[in-house]
Structure 1
Amino acid sequence: MKIKSAIATLILGTLFSCSATSQVATKAPEAPKPIQLFNGKDIKDWTPKIRLHEVGDNYANTFRVEDGLLKVRYDGYDDFNQQYGHLAFNKPYGYYILRLEYRFVGEQTKGGEGWAWSNSGAMLHGQDPKTMLKDQDFPISIEGQLLGGDGKNERTTSNLCTPGTNVVIKDKLFTPHCLSSKSKTYHGDQWVTADFLVLGDSLIQHIVEGEVVLEYNKPQIGGANVGPVDPKQKEDGKLLKEGYIYLQSESHPIDFRKVELYDLSAYKENEGKLTEVVNTILKR
C-alpha cells in the first residue's frame, strides 16, 4: 500500500499537537510492543560486514557489548584505512518505527577522514549483508546520518545520505548524495533519541527528540556513492519496500543504549489505524 500524501501530512502534523479534542478522555489505541533489536547482552542477532573483510568477520572486535551498551570501537586498528563497517540486524523489515538512543564518545581513530568525525548512521532498507562484496564500502541503502557537534558550530543530525539510492522530495527525484535535516545541534557526549518512521516505499520521516526534521518518499535504487557492488544488486529504479537495518562504524566511537523497533506491518491496509498507532508510539 502506498500512503497518500494526506496521510503523510496527518502524521507529520499531529505527532505532538494538543487540540481541544485531545483533552477529552479517550482510550489511546493499543500500539505494538517494541522489539528489542539490541538485547543489552550480545549481538548474536546481528551480522557485521566491514570493508576489506568477509561477511561475519567482526574485525578487531569493532562492534561489541560492554556495560549494557552496544559500542563501536577502534582500539584494535593500526589505521582506519577506509574500513567502513556496518552491523546488520538479521531480519529485514518494511513498515516500522526504529528508535535509537546514541552518543558519540572519545576521539576519532587514526586514519579516519575529516568528514567522518563524530559521524555514524542507521542504514534503512539495506541490501542483504551476504550480498555485499568484500571490498564494498557501504550497503545499498537509505542512511539516516548521525552527526555530533564540536561544541561551537552548528551541525545537524539525522540527515539523509543515499549510497546507491535516490528518493523523491516534493514530487521530484532527489539525486544528490546527502541532504541536511532541520535538527538542532547536539554537542559532546550527550544521549540523543532518533526515531525513523519507515512505511515501505511510501514515506520515511526522520524524527529527533520528538521533532520531524526530514521527510521523503519513494526510496529506490539508483545513483552512485557506493562501490564496488555486484551488478545483480544494483537494479536502478527499483523501489525499496523493505530491507535490512544497519548500524555504522565510520572511525569515531559511538555508543547505543537502545535499538528498538515497532513493527507496523499489521496496519498497512488501515490508514486511519496506522496514523493513530504511529502517533501513540511517537508520543511516548
Structure 2
Amino acid sequence: MNSIFRSLLIILVLFSQNTNAQKRIKLFNQKDLKDWYAFGDEKGKQDNAANLFSVENNMIRMYGPKAGYLMSEQSFRNFELTVEYKWNTDTNFVRKNNSKNSGVMYHVPAETPDVLWPKGIQFQIKEGATGDFVFLQEVTLNINGTTITPGKSVVSKRFADAENPIGEWNELVVISKNGKITQKLNGKLVNEGTESSVTEGRILLQYEGFPIDFRKVTIKKHK
C-alpha cells in the first residue's frame, strides 16, 4: 500500500509541475514569427509577418523606413505578460528616424481594425518615458482614484524611472486581472490602475522608427 501511495504521490507532483509549466506560453518561439501577423504604414496587413520584420539570433528585429507592428493572432484575458527588449543602435539597420520610441500594446480588441495605432493600452517604451501608460482610442483606466479623460491618445506618466542604459536588455511585465493593470520595468513598479475599460485582447509589438529587438515574449494566464 505504501509503495502504491508513493507512486501516486510522485505522479501527482509531476502532473502538478507539468501543469504549472504549461501556464506560461511562449508567444515568440525564437525561430520565426508564427502566430503573429504584421501591419505596415505602407504595405498594410501582412499575414506573413516576415514580409516586414525578421528573426535573427533568436530575436525579433524590427527596423525599416516605415512604422508598423506585429500583432498576436490570439487574444488574452487575465494574464502576466513578460517582454524583453533592447534598442538596436547598429547603424547598418535602416531606420525611419532617430527618436527612440516604441511600445508593447495589450488588450487590443479582436474586432479593432488595423491602423496606426489601434485601440488598446500601451506600455510606453521611449527614451525618458519608458513605463508610461498610453491609452488609445477612448480606453480609460482609474489611476489614483481618478478615471482618465478618454481620447485618441492619452498619456499617464510612470511613477518611477527604471530603464537600463541604452544597449542593455530590459524586462517589462504587465499584469492584468479583472480590470486591474500593473506595469513593472526591471522588477520595479512603474504604473498601476484599476477599472480598465478593456479587459481582453491581443498583444502588439510596436515599431515607430528606431530599430528595436525583442528576445522574449511570454504570457502566463490567470484565472
TM-score of the aligned structures, taking structure 1 as reference length: 0.63
| Deviation at residue 188 of structure 1 after TM alignment | 1.5
Answer whether contact 1:142 1:219 (CA < 8 A) is retained: no
- Which residues in structure 2 correspond to 1:108-187 (within 5 Å)? 111-112=96-97, 117-128=99-110, 131-133=112-114, 136-148=115-127, 155-164=128-137, 165-175=139-149, 177-181=154-158, 182-187=160-165
SS at match of 1:32: helix
Q: Partners in 2 of 1:157 and 1:110 — Cα distance?
A: 20
Give 1:98's aligned residue: 81
C-alpha contact (below 8 Å) 1:61/1:73 kept by paired residues:
no
Give every structure 1 segment of 4 or more consecutive aligned residues whose post-TM-superposition deviation is greater than 4 Å: 57-60, 107-111
2:10 maps to what in 1?
Answer: none
What runs of 5+ residues in structure 1 fail to find an aligned partner? 1-28, 149-154, 221-239, 266-284
**Change beyond 3 A, Cα 1:59–1:36:** closer
- SS of 1:251's partner is coil
Q: TM-score, structure 2 length as denominator? A: 0.79
Q: Amino acid of the residue matched to residue 20 of structure 2?
A: P
Cα deviation digits, residues 109-136 of structure 1 (max 9, x gap)? 5553x7xx111111010033x7425xx2
How many equivalent residue pairs? 198
Q: Is the 8 A contact 1:143 1:162 kept in 2?
A: yes
Percent of aligned pairs sharing the same letter: 26
Q: Residues 111, 36 of structure 1: CA spacing in aligned structure 2 closer, same or farther, 3 A cutoff?
A: closer
1:191 aligns with 2:169: yes
Distance 2:196 2:71 in 1: 19
CA positional deviation for 1:53: 3.0
Match of 2:192 in 1: 215
**Equivalent position amino acid for 1:169 in 2:** I
Cα distance in structure 2, aligned partners of 1:168 and 1:204? 10
- Give 2:100's aligned amino acid: S
- Residue 20 of structure 2 is aligned with which of 32, 42, 46? 32
Match of 1:260, SS? strand
